[in-house]
Structure 1
Amino acid sequence: MHYGLPSEAKATIEKLIPKVADSPARVIVAVPYTALEAAQAVSAGTAVRLAAQNGHEADQGAYTGEISMKMLAQMQVAYVLIGHSERRTHFYESDDRVNAKLKAALDWGVRPIVCCGETREERAAGQTRDRLKVQIQKAFEGIKADSLCQITLAYEPVWAIGTGDTATEAQAEEACAYIRALLEDLYGQAAEEVRILYGGSINADNAAGLFAQAHVDGGLVGGASLDAEAFSQIAGGK
C-alpha cells in the first residue's frame, strides 16, 4: 500500500521516467488501484509500463471492494500481479484461485505476472521443489501453450520478502532453473516463451549478480522500487 495517492504515484513515476529512458530492461511499476489513472497519464509514451497489484477473476458480481480483470482491461492496464506471497499469506489465496485469476487475465488480454515461492519452513524441510511443483502445475492447469508468451513468472521465496534476507545467486538460479524445467515438462520448447523473474530483497548491490544467472530473466523488486534512484540502478543491471 505504497504511493496510493494519485499525487504520490505521479511524483514517483515522474522521477523514474528520465532515469530509465535508456534502460535495456522492461520497466513495469505496480501501483495501487487508486493511483492507476494518474500513473497512466504521466507514464503514457514513456519507457515505464504499469501493472495492477491484484485482480479478481469474476467479470462482475457481489464482490465488494474487488477490481476485476475485465475492469483492468477496460482501463487499458497492461499487466497484473497474481498470487503475490502477501496475497497468499494475508488473504489466503489458494493455488486454484491463482489459476482462475490467470485464466481471467489472459481472457481479457491483461498480461499476468504470476508469483510463486516457498516459505522458510518449507525450505528448511527440503520442500522447495515440492512446493514449486504444486504451485506451477496448479497455476498452469488448462493454460494453452500459445498463451505462454503473455505470461511472466516471478519466483519470490517468502522468507526473502521484506526481510532483508536475499537468496544467494546459486539459490535463485537453482529455483528458476527448476521452474523452467517444470514448464518444459508441461509445454516442451514453448516453455522458453515464459520470462522468469527473481523477487526477494533485491537492491542495487545484489541485482546485477542475480540477473546474471542463466535462468533469471529479471527481477520483481519490492522495497527498493520505492526510491527512483535505487530502482533505476537495478533496472540498468540487466
Structure 2
Amino acid sequence: MTTRSITIGISTKMYLGYRESQVWLGAVAALARACEPVQTGQVKLFVAPTFPVLETTLELTRGTPVQVAAQNASDQDSGALTGEVSPVVLAEMGVELIELGHTERRRQFGESDELVAAKVAAAQRNGLQPLLCVGENARVAPKEAARACLEQIGAANINPHGTEPVIAYEPVWAIGAPQPADPDYVCAVADQLRQELGTETTLLYGGSAGPGLLPRLHPHVDGLFLGRFAHDPRNIALILEEATLLVSMASGSSPATAF
C-alpha cells in the first residue's frame, strides 16, 4: 500500500548568524542521513535559510534528500533591481522551493496580493515550487478562516499547469505566539481547505509549531512548517521520530524509530 509522505519544512528567518547557520545545517544534514524515512522519501525535509548561506546549504546537504528553499525571490527574472534576488539564479543554483506570501512580507514590506501573484508566476515559470503561506489575521470560526485562506490562494493565481505549490497554513495570530493554534481548530480549518484544494496538494501547518504537535494534526495536514523551535536540532530529531511513527502506522508496519 502506498503511504502518503509527511513533509517537514524549516525556516531560520533571520535568526542564525553565518557560522551558527553552518553548524545548524551540518546537524540537519546529519539527521537527514541518519533518518531512514527521510532517506526513503516517506518523510520529506526542506530548509529555508537566510540568503547568504544558500550556497553553503546546498553544499552541506548535497547527497541527502534535503530540499533547499529560499525565503523570498523577485517577481522579475533579471533587470536593474538592486538588492533583489532572481528566481532564475536560485533555480540555477539548485534551490527547489520559494517561500511566498508570508505575513511578515505582507505587513512589514507591503507585499500585496498582486505582487505575491507575480512572484508565484515567476517561481512557476522557472520550475521552482511555490511555498505559499496563507492564514487568517484573527481567530474566527474555522469556515471563515478557511475562506480567508482560500481567497489568498485564489489571489495568488497559481498556474495549474505549472510546478505544484505547497500550501503552508499559518494563522497570523499564532505566528510567534507561546503556543500554536489549538489542534482541533487547525484540523477543522485544514478539513475545509482540503474540500477545495483536493488531496493531492501538500498542506502544512505553521505557527509556533514544535514537538508533540504533528501527531495531533496528521493526517488533516501533511506536515509542519517549523520556525524557532526547529533552530534546536534536538527538536527536529523529536519531530522526525514522530513523523516516522506516523508513516509506519499508516503503512501497517511495526512501529519504527527514526534513528
- TM-score w.r.t. structure 1 length? 0.86
Q: Is 1:80 aligned with 2:98?
A: yes
Moved more, 93-102 or 126-135: 126-135
Q: Is 1:130 aligned with 2:130?
A: no
| Distance in 2, Cα, partners of 1:161 & 1:38 | 28
| Distance in 1, Cα, partners of 2:187 & 2:214 | 13
Q: Which residue of 2 aligns with 1:169?
A: 183
Secondary structure at the residue paired with 2:226? coil
Indicate if the aligned counterparts of 1:58 and 1:104 stay in contact, CA closer than 8 A. Answer: yes
Q: Which residue of 2 aligns with 1:236?
A: 241
Q: Is 1:52 aligned with 2:70?
A: yes
Where do 5+ consecutive residues of structure 1 fail to align?
Answer: 184-190
Give the letter aligned to residue 199 of structure 1: G
Q: Which residue of 2 aligns with 1:70?
A: 88
Size of the alignment, in residue pairs? 224
Q: Which residue of 2 aligns with 1:188?
A: none
Q: Is 1:223 aligned with 2:228?
A: yes
Give the letter aligned to residue 32 of structure 1: T
Q: Is 1:114 aligned with 2:132?
A: yes
| Distance in 2, Cα, partners of 1:16 & 1:142 | 31
Q: Which residue of 1 aligns with 2:214?
A: 207
Cα offset for 1:95? Answer: 1.7
Q: Which residue of 2 aligns with 1:2?
A: 15
Where do 5+ consecutive residues of structure 2 fail to align?
Answer: 1-13, 244-259
> Deviations along 1:82-115, whole A, 9 cap, x unmatched?
1112111211212222211111111101111110
> Deviations along 1:134-165, whole A, 9 cap, x unmatched?
101111x2612x336x2110000011111123
Indicate if the aligned counterparts of 1:51 and 1:79 stay in contact, CA closer than 8 A. Answer: yes
Moved more, 170-179 or 222-231: 170-179
- Structure 1 stretches of 4+ with a deviation exceeding 4 A read 124-127
- For the structure 1 residues 10 and 138, does the alpha-carbon distance in structure 2 shift closer, same or farther, using more than 3 Å as the test? same
| Distance in 2, Cα, partners of 1:43 & 1:133 | 34
Moved more, 228-237 or 76-85: 228-237
Higher relative contact order (CA 8 A, sep 6+): 2
Give the letter aligned to residue 174 of structure 2: A
- The CA RMSD over aligned residues, in Å, is 2.0
Aligned counterpart for 1:194 among listed residues 198, 201, 209: 201
Q: Which residue of 1 aligns with 2:32?
A: 20
Cα offset for 1:126? Answer: 8.0
| Distance in 1, Cα, partners of 2:93 & 2:103 | 25
Indicate if the aligned counterparts of 2:143 and 2:192 stay in contact, CA closer than 8 A. Answer: no
- For the structure 1 residues 142 and 38, does the alpha-carbon distance in structure 2 shift closer, same or farther, using more than 3 Å as the test? closer
Secondary structure at the residue paired with 2:147? helix
Cα offset for 1:215? Answer: 2.6
